[in-house]
Amino acid sequence: MNKFYLFSFFIIGIICLIGLRIDIMDIDAAQYASISREMLSTGHFLQVYDLGKDYLDKPPFLFWVSAISMKIFGISNFSYKLPSFLFAIIAVFSTYKLSKLFYDNKTAILSALILASSQGFFLMTHDVRTDTILMAWVIFSVWQLASWIQHKKLYHFFLGVLAIAFGMMTKGPIALLVPCFAIGSHLISQKKFSYLFKWEYVLGIFIISFLLLPMSWGLFKQFDLHPEKLVNGEHHVSGLRFFYWTQSFGRITGESSWNNNSNIFFLLQNMLWSFLPWIIIFLCALIFQIKILVSNKLRVGSKQEFITLGGFILTYLSLGMSKYQLPHYIFVGFPFAAIITAEFLNNLISDNKYPKFFKQILYGHLVIFILLWIILVLILAISFNTIHWYVSALAFIVLVGLIVFFLKNKGERKILIFILIYTSLGLNLFLNTWLYPSLLNYQAGSSVGKWISANKIPTNKTYTYKFTIWRSLNFYSKAIIGNKENVNTIGIGDYIITTENKLSELKNQGKNFKILYQGSDFPVTRLNLKFLNPKNRDGELETFVLILIK
């Protein structure tokens, strides 16, 4: 089985590397890529700008490392995504090391593999936002702090504190809260109250504060010193208060204007897809552990760990209290979920317990995953003419291989792990290699942006006209593309990106033009069945053009 695990990690690496070449998706990932490119262009590393305007939303660490990567490798999909891919490796390794502190090597390897093969992990490595790096810093810090408690070596504490500081530079106070939830709940459950009052914490606070000084100074200089600035529709905005309080805690207290009326079950609902193929087993494991905890009257054995269960539950509850939530917010808790799942799954397979329950789990997963494979085959075969017929045929052959392998080995409990990993890796290999590239042909910003760059269109004379300003346009054109809303400001020699239905408006105003590029636009992150059906797709598309005013 270890050889299978090793081979699985290798295939995961290949799938993620393929994902590095996929075009960056609008909206968030493309915006962060555009900001990183702009940071490199301007050299402003302590003040963050988006299309030349003050930006106050995310801390700068992702922009820093992506800008440095672009400096080394050039402006491309690969250079933007590479840092996050490297941090994803750190997250997997840290999950393995944390698990190994408390469980055997088999469980530790399975923990790392569960994290690396989850759907959210594959998504994080090609639709790059701040969550990949945040997850890496957080689980690394928890591993180091747990090692400090267990081995009493001070350098583990220092490394844990450093990781918290860099995590806060990535996505704010959540990078401090999650390790506190995990380690704090573990210490309390073990009645190690002396560890709650250590002199090292004072030193840790000093180190974190010191490391945050450059970023804090940048926020103070950009915002606090300029109360006259209009930021997010308000004056007198403190960058320091926003970063350290409003952006995180303000979403709970109501001080933040961000509100999408999310409830406590929002993140769980999204885990149903983002923690595939492990979600059902994870939920069983979670219920099982909570049941044991309740039956033991909330007492945890001295040789047990409460880092993962306490860390996940408290993290989930804190995120679930927010009035504004997005599906990827829970990704920071995935390493905890992976360890909880691995420990339960390893015991389920090794101890041969609960035969009826295991049989239901096994056949239930087989049915679900066969249906997922069939859906994939149909999408590959029907949806995009850019995908050759042999691809869907290959996907069907892989599906048949899964069924044949199951029938030959259905008496072994280890077949469950094989089915889960086989399905996850197979589906994502086809998604990253064929489906996503075909889908992103319909992303206007990246397609026309690459055409502008390749044909050396003068970006200082290129504008959008009554057309959505996609951040991918700015990233792939390697410039900040201006916008014109008044037809009278459009002059001879201007290059205009607009929708096809605006051409008659330009003609009526006496504008002569030549169409240089034409394409179809669809918000690819809002995929729906009508778009996937070629017969209905035209009704979902918006035709855009790049024209030269003559």
Q: How many whole angstroms separate alpha carbon 61 and alpha carbon 131?
A: 11
CA angle 20/22/24 to nearest 5° reads 95
Number of domains in the chain: 3
Is there a single domain that holds both residue 403 and residue 481? no
Q: How many whole angstroms separate alpha carbon 16 and alpha carbon 9?
A: 11
Cα-based distances in Å from 23 to 261, 397, 438, 474, 518: 31, 28, 10, 13, 19
Is there a single domain that holds both residue 86 and residue 205? yes
| Residue 359 token pair | 């049989």
Is there a single domain that holds both residue 416 and residue 464? no
Q: From 350, 383, 407, give the residue that closes a domain.
A: 350
Of 328, 330, 346, the C-alpha closest to 281 is: 346
Q: How many whole angstroms separate alpha carbon 272 and alpha carbon 119?
A: 10
pLDDT score, position 252: 64
Contact 527, 127 (CB under 8 A): no
Q: How many whole angstroms separate alpha carbon 324 and alpha carbon 477?
A: 32
- 163: containing domain: 2-350
CA angle 5/8/11 to nearest 5° reads 160
Other beta carbons less than 10 A from residue 53's beta carbon: 10
Of 59, 60, 54, 58, the C-alpha closest to 230 is: 54
Contact 77, 29 (CB under 8 A): no
Is there a single domain that holds both residue 447 and residue 423? no
Is there a single domain that holds both residue 370 and residue 458? no
Q: From 402, 424, 441, give the residue that closes a domain.
A: 441
Is there a single domain that holds both residue 205 and residue 63? yes
Q: How many whole angstroms separate alpha carbon 124 and alpha carbon 112?
A: 16
Q: How many whole angstroms separate alpha carbon 139 and alpha carbon 92?
A: 9
Of 137, 129, 136, the C-alpha closest to 33 is: 129
Is there a single domain that holds both residue 107 and residue 200? yes
Is there a single domain that holds both residue 136 and residue 237? yes
Contact 471, 49 (CB under 8 A): no
Q: How many whole angstroms separate alpha carbon 102 and alpha carbon 15?
A: 30
Cα 3 off chain centre by: 29
Contact 111, 148 (CB under 8 A): no
Q: From 350, 368, 403, give the residue that closes a domain.
A: 350
Q: How many whole angstroms separate alpha carbon 476 and alpha carbon 77?
A: 9
Under 8 Å CB-to-CB from 6, ≥6 apart: which residues? Answer: none
Is there a single domain that holds both residue 169 and residue 259? yes
Is there a single domain that holds both residue 153 and residue 170? yes
Tell me, what CATH number does 528's domain have?
A: 3.40.190
Of 296, 265, 294, 268, the C-alpha closest to 283 is: 268
Helix, strand or coil for residue 277? coil
Is there a single domain that holds both residue 176 and residue 307? yes
Write out the chain's pLDDT in tens, 550 residues: 578 899 999 999 999 999 999 999 988 899 999 999 999 999 999 999 998 888 888 899 999 999 999 999 999 999 999 999 999 999 999 999 999 999 999 999 999 999 999 999 999 998 999 999 999 999 999 999 999 999 989 999 999 999 999 999 999 899 999 999 999 999 988 888 888 888 889 999 999 999 999 999 998 888 888 888 877 778 888 888 888 887 777 666 656 666 777 788 889 999 999 999 999 999 999 999 999 888 877 777 767 899 999 999 999 998 888 877 888 889 999 999 999 999 999 888 887 777 788 888 888 888 988 999 999 999 999 989 888 888 989 988 988 988 888 888 877 778 888 899 999 999 999 999 999 999 999 999 999 999 999 999 999 999 999 887 788 999 999 999 988 888 888 889 999 999 988 898 888 888 888 999 999 999 888 888 899 998 889 888 999 999 999 8
The DSSP secondary-structure symbol of 22 reads S
Other beta carbons less than 10 A from residue 98's beta carbon: 30
Is there a single domain that holds both residue 220 and residue 344? yes
Contact 462, 495 (CB under 8 A): yes
Contact 76, 23 (CB under 8 A): no
Contact 306, 189 (CB under 8 A): yes
Q: How many whole angstroms separate alpha carbon 301 and alpha carbon 47?
A: 49
pLDDT score, position 119: 95
| Residue 113 token pair | 């593999």
Contact 306, 185 (CB under 8 A): yes
pLDDT score, position 57: 85
Under 8 Å CB-to-CB from 548, ≥6 apart: which residues? Answer: 493, 494, 495, 496, 513, 514, 516
Q: How many whole angstroms separate alpha carbon 150 and alpha carbon 290?
A: 24
Cα 386 off chain centre by: 27
Contact 438, 384 (CB under 8 A): yes
